Amino acid sequence: MSQRTRRFALLLTLCPALAAAQGRTTMPAVGIDHIILGVDDLDKGMAEFASRTGVKPVKGGVHPGRGTQNALVSLGKGRYIEIMAPSHEAGTTGGARTAFTTLTPAGWALHTDNVGAVMATLRGAAFKVSDVSAGARNRPDGVKLAWQTADVDGEGLEDAPFFIQWGAGSPHPSGDAPGGCTLEAVRMTQPDPAPLARFFRAVKVDIAVTKGTARRMTVALACPAGKVSFGG
């Protein structure tokens, strides 16, 4: 190896931006952050979760202008269940995620400490990605939570999780939500498993995607009342 080649290799090691330009990008670490269970009435959903699991959720607050409110249950450090329902704010609607009469998996998120870098890496891997957008809500005790989110789009990726980066100083919802349940598995069923399976390989998250006649997400928990599944 020539001195010039060795010097260029050293620059690639020391300069991530230069490495990226040479096609050597690295996906920032990601992991499951939270799972959304949608329902058409928050109190009803909280009662259902408590009855099935033995853990009583706590209300988390309203998403201003989005027509939704939530209740929370911790799944351990850095993970939680978000029960999402309409907030009945004037001029807003909870949308499809909150149209269920019983608790149903309606979305989920992967956490990262650099959502912009995740999007750049996925864009480089030929995924269609959104812009990064900011969100916030106030807890009932007045504490403000802030975050940034982004997601991927494309045929076969309708059930892909979105990405969330919590704001500096924002307490994570898993920290003070009622605990007792842990996440055992997330399983995905798709008519064509290939697009979603490729996405999970790209973000290095081990999620089973099997072939079936319909799109389906199953969430398995271990709780004080025993093993509980939502969806499927």
Tens digits of per-residue pLDDT, 33-49?
999 999 999 999 999 99
Tens digits of per-residue pLDDT, 198-232?
999 999 999 999 999 999 999 999 999 999 999 97
At 54, list the tokens. Answer: 């033995």
CA torsion 20→23→29→31, rounded to 10°? 130
Main-chain phi, psi angles of 115, to 5 degrees: -65, -30
Structural domains for the chain: 31-180 (3.10.180.10)
Tens digits of per-residue pLDDT, 9-41?
444 444 444 444 444 457 889 999 999 999 999
Tens digits of per-residue pLDDT, 114-165?
999 999 999 999 999 999 999 998 888 888 999 999 999 999 999 999 999 9
Tens digits of per-residue pLDDT, 164-205?
999 998 999 999 999 999 999 999 999 999 999 999 999 999
**For position 217, what pLDDT does the model report?**
97
**For position 185, what pLDDT does the model report?**
96
List of residues 6+ apart from 43 with CB closer than 8 A? none
